Amino acid sequence: MRFLLPLCAVVLTCTAADTVNLIVNGDFSSTDAGTEGPVQGWKGGDGRYVSVIDEDKNRFLRIAMPEKGTAMLLQKFTVEPGWQRIDVSVKIRAKGMTIGDENYKTGMLQYAFRNAKGEVVGGWSKRRVDADQDWTPMTESIEVPADAENLQVECWAMDCVGTFDFDDVKVELTKKP
Ligand SMILES: [Ca+2]
Protein backbone atom coordinates (compact mmCIF):
# COMPACT_ATOMS: atom_id res chain seq x y z
CA MET A 1 0.00 0.00 0.00
CA ARG A 2 2.89 2.33 0.69
CA PHE A 3 3.79 2.18 -2.98
CA LEU A 4 0.27 2.34 -4.37
CA LEU A 5 -1.10 5.39 -2.58
CA PRO A 6 1.26 8.00 -4.08
CA LEU A 7 0.61 6.54 -7.54
CA CYS A 8 -3.17 6.90 -7.14
CA ALA A 9 -2.75 10.48 -6.01
CA VAL A 10 -0.80 11.31 -9.16
CA VAL A 11 -3.39 9.70 -11.46
CA LEU A 12 -6.30 11.54 -9.80
CA THR A 13 -4.51 14.88 -10.06
CA CYS A 14 -3.90 14.38 -13.77
CA THR A 15 -7.52 13.44 -14.48
CA ALA A 16 -8.90 16.40 -12.55
CA ALA A 17 -6.70 18.83 -14.46
CA ASP A 18 -8.24 17.94 -17.84
CA THR A 19 -11.58 19.61 -17.21
CA VAL A 20 -13.03 21.61 -14.36
CA ASN A 21 -16.69 22.40 -13.73
CA LEU A 22 -17.06 26.16 -13.31
CA ILE A 23 -20.61 26.19 -11.90
CA VAL A 24 -21.11 26.54 -8.16
CA ASN A 25 -24.07 24.61 -6.71
CA GLY A 26 -25.24 23.52 -10.15
CA ASP A 27 -26.97 20.51 -8.59
CA PHE A 28 -28.73 22.82 -6.11
CA SER A 29 -27.79 20.49 -3.26
CA SER A 30 -26.62 23.33 -0.99
CA THR A 31 -28.92 24.23 1.88
CA ASP A 32 -27.01 27.46 2.58
CA ALA A 33 -28.80 30.76 2.09
CA GLY A 34 -27.92 32.65 -1.09
CA THR A 35 -25.78 35.78 -0.75
CA GLU A 36 -26.73 37.52 -4.02
CA GLY A 37 -30.24 36.14 -4.43
CA PRO A 38 -32.45 33.35 -3.11
CA VAL A 39 -30.18 30.51 -4.31
CA GLN A 40 -26.67 29.84 -3.02
CA GLY A 41 -23.98 30.37 -5.69
CA TRP A 42 -26.36 32.14 -8.07
CA LYS A 43 -26.89 35.86 -8.56
CA GLY A 44 -30.34 37.36 -8.95
CA GLY A 45 -33.66 35.61 -9.32
CA ASP A 46 -36.86 37.12 -8.03
CA GLY A 47 -37.82 35.27 -4.83
CA ARG A 48 -41.50 35.47 -5.77
CA TYR A 49 -40.85 33.05 -8.63
CA VAL A 50 -37.56 31.31 -7.78
CA SER A 51 -37.06 28.55 -5.22
CA VAL A 52 -35.14 25.35 -4.57
CA ILE A 53 -37.44 22.33 -4.38
CA ASP A 54 -36.68 19.07 -2.59
CA GLU A 55 -38.37 16.17 -4.38
CA ASP A 56 -37.53 12.54 -3.59
CA LYS A 57 -34.37 13.73 -1.82
CA ASN A 58 -33.15 15.60 -4.90
CA ARG A 59 -32.92 19.37 -4.79
CA PHE A 60 -33.36 21.42 -7.95
CA LEU A 61 -34.10 24.97 -9.06
CA ARG A 62 -37.68 25.93 -9.88
CA ILE A 63 -38.74 29.07 -11.71
CA ALA A 64 -42.53 29.15 -11.50
CA MET A 65 -44.20 31.80 -13.62
CA PRO A 66 -47.99 31.63 -13.15
CA GLU A 67 -48.59 34.64 -15.40
CA LYS A 68 -46.42 35.95 -18.19
CA GLY A 69 -43.22 37.25 -16.67
CA THR A 70 -39.45 36.99 -16.40
CA ALA A 71 -36.99 35.68 -13.83
CA MET A 72 -33.30 34.89 -14.30
CA LEU A 73 -30.39 33.66 -12.19
CA LEU A 74 -26.79 33.84 -13.36
CA GLN A 75 -23.18 32.98 -12.72
CA LYS A 76 -20.44 35.04 -14.38
CA PHE A 77 -16.84 34.03 -15.05
CA THR A 78 -13.80 35.89 -16.29
CA VAL A 79 -12.20 34.13 -19.26
CA GLU A 80 -8.54 33.35 -18.65
CA PRO A 81 -5.78 32.77 -21.20
CA GLY A 82 -5.75 29.17 -22.34
CA TRP A 83 -9.50 28.58 -22.16
CA GLN A 84 -10.31 26.39 -25.15
CA ARG A 85 -13.74 24.82 -24.94
CA ILE A 86 -16.75 24.49 -22.66
CA ASP A 87 -19.02 21.48 -22.43
CA VAL A 88 -22.36 22.67 -21.13
CA SER A 89 -24.98 20.33 -19.72
CA VAL A 90 -28.25 20.77 -17.88
CA LYS A 91 -31.48 18.90 -17.18
CA ILE A 92 -34.67 20.89 -17.67
CA ARG A 93 -38.29 19.96 -16.95
CA ALA A 94 -41.20 22.14 -17.99
CA LYS A 95 -44.89 22.06 -17.18
CA GLY A 96 -47.83 24.22 -18.16
CA MET A 97 -45.68 26.38 -20.38
CA THR A 98 -46.77 28.92 -22.94
CA ILE A 99 -44.15 30.56 -25.12
CA GLY A 100 -44.23 34.36 -25.30
CA ASP A 101 -44.79 36.40 -28.46
CA GLU A 102 -41.39 35.35 -29.91
CA ASN A 103 -40.09 31.76 -30.03
CA TYR A 104 -37.10 32.61 -27.81
CA LYS A 105 -39.37 33.81 -25.00
CA THR A 106 -39.41 30.61 -22.95
CA GLY A 107 -37.46 28.72 -20.31
CA MET A 108 -33.82 28.14 -21.15
CA LEU A 109 -30.24 27.82 -20.06
CA GLN A 110 -28.34 30.57 -21.85
CA TYR A 111 -24.55 30.81 -21.93
CA ALA A 112 -22.94 33.70 -23.76
CA PHE A 113 -19.40 35.00 -24.06
CA ARG A 114 -18.84 38.75 -24.21
CA ASN A 115 -15.81 40.78 -25.24
CA ALA A 116 -14.27 43.68 -23.31
CA LYS A 117 -16.83 46.04 -24.90
CA GLY A 118 -19.70 43.96 -23.56
CA GLU A 119 -20.68 42.66 -27.01
CA VAL A 120 -21.77 39.02 -27.35
CA VAL A 121 -19.15 37.02 -29.26
CA GLY A 122 -19.56 33.53 -30.69
CA GLY A 123 -23.36 33.82 -30.85
CA TRP A 124 -26.20 33.51 -28.35
CA SER A 125 -25.88 29.94 -27.15
CA LYS A 126 -28.77 28.45 -25.33
CA ARG A 127 -30.67 25.25 -24.60
CA ARG A 128 -34.28 26.25 -25.02
CA VAL A 129 -37.50 24.57 -23.98
CA ASP A 130 -40.10 24.53 -26.76
CA ALA A 131 -42.84 22.47 -25.07
CA ASP A 132 -43.65 20.76 -21.79
CA GLN A 133 -41.14 18.01 -21.09
CA ASP A 134 -40.09 15.65 -18.31
CA TRP A 135 -36.48 15.90 -17.10
CA THR A 136 -34.51 16.16 -20.34
CA PRO A 137 -30.72 16.34 -20.56
CA MET A 138 -29.47 19.02 -22.91
CA THR A 139 -25.82 19.40 -23.85
CA GLU A 140 -23.61 21.49 -26.09
CA SER A 141 -19.89 21.82 -26.66
CA ILE A 142 -18.60 25.22 -27.81
CA GLU A 143 -15.19 26.71 -28.51
CA VAL A 144 -14.21 29.75 -26.51
CA PRO A 145 -14.06 32.75 -28.90
CA ALA A 146 -10.61 34.34 -29.13
CA ASP A 147 -11.74 37.77 -27.93
CA ALA A 148 -14.02 36.52 -25.12
CA GLU A 149 -13.55 38.43 -21.86
CA ASN A 150 -16.28 36.83 -19.77
CA LEU A 151 -18.85 34.06 -19.76
CA GLN A 152 -22.31 34.39 -18.28
CA VAL A 153 -24.47 31.33 -17.59
CA GLU A 154 -28.15 32.02 -16.98
CA CYS A 155 -31.27 30.05 -16.00
CA TRP A 156 -34.29 31.81 -17.51
CA ALA A 157 -37.99 32.06 -17.71
CA MET A 158 -38.20 34.86 -20.27
CA ASP A 159 -41.47 36.70 -20.78
CA CYS A 160 -43.44 33.44 -20.73
CA VAL A 161 -45.71 31.27 -18.59
CA GLY A 162 -44.89 27.93 -16.98
CA THR A 163 -43.00 26.02 -14.33
CA PHE A 164 -39.38 25.41 -15.31
CA ASP A 165 -37.15 23.09 -13.27
CA PHE A 166 -33.36 23.09 -13.69
CA ASP A 167 -30.85 20.60 -12.29
CA ASP A 168 -27.26 19.43 -12.80
CA VAL A 169 -26.07 22.62 -14.49
CA LYS A 170 -22.47 22.04 -15.51
CA VAL A 171 -19.98 24.02 -17.56
CA GLU A 172 -16.90 21.88 -17.92
CA LEU A 173 -13.91 23.87 -19.06
CA THR A 174 -11.11 22.41 -21.15
CA LYS A 175 -7.90 24.40 -21.28
CA LYS A 176 -5.33 24.29 -24.06
CA PRO A 177 -2.72 21.62 -23.41
CA1 LIG B 1 -30.06 18.16 -7.82
Distance 43 CA to ligand 1 centre (A): 18
Distance 139 CA to ligand 1 centre (A): 17
Tens place of pLDDT per residue across the chain (177 aa): 455 555 544 444 444 457 899 999 999 999 999 999 999 999 999 999 999 999 999 999 999 999 999 999 999 999 999 999 999 999 999 999 999 999 999 999 999 999 999 999 998 888 899 999 999 999 999 999 999 999 999 999 999 999 999 999 999 999 998
Residue 44 located in a structural domain: yes
The 10s digit of each residue's pLDDT in 122-133 is: 988 888 999 999
Task: Extract the runs of DSSP E, i.e. beta strands, from 56-149.
Answer: 58-78, 83-98, 107-114, 120-128, 133-143
In the chain the first and final C-alpha atoms are separated, in Å, by 32
CATH number of the domain to which 153 belongs:
2.60.120.260
Burial class (CB in 10 A: 0-12, 13-18, 19+), 158: buried
Residue 7 located in a structural domain: no
Distance 91 CA to ligand 1 centre (A): 9
Rounded Cα distance, 118 and 92, in Å: 28
Distance 29 CA to ligand 1 centre (A): 6
Residue 102 located in a structural domain: yes
Burial class (CB in 10 A: 0-12, 13-18, 19+), 1: exposed
The 10s digit of each residue's pLDDT in 44-56 is: 999 999 999 999 9
Distance 62 CA to ligand 1 centre (A): 11
**Global pTM value:** 0.88
Q: Which domain holds residue 168?
A: 19-175
Residue 164 located in a structural domain: yes
Distance 24 CA to ligand 1 centre (A): 12
Distance 49 CA to ligand 1 centre (A): 18
Count the domains in the chain: 1
Residue 60, SS3? strand
Distance 138 CA to ligand 1 centre (A): 15
Rounded Cα distance, 157 and 92, in Å: 12
Residue 84 located in a structural domain: yes
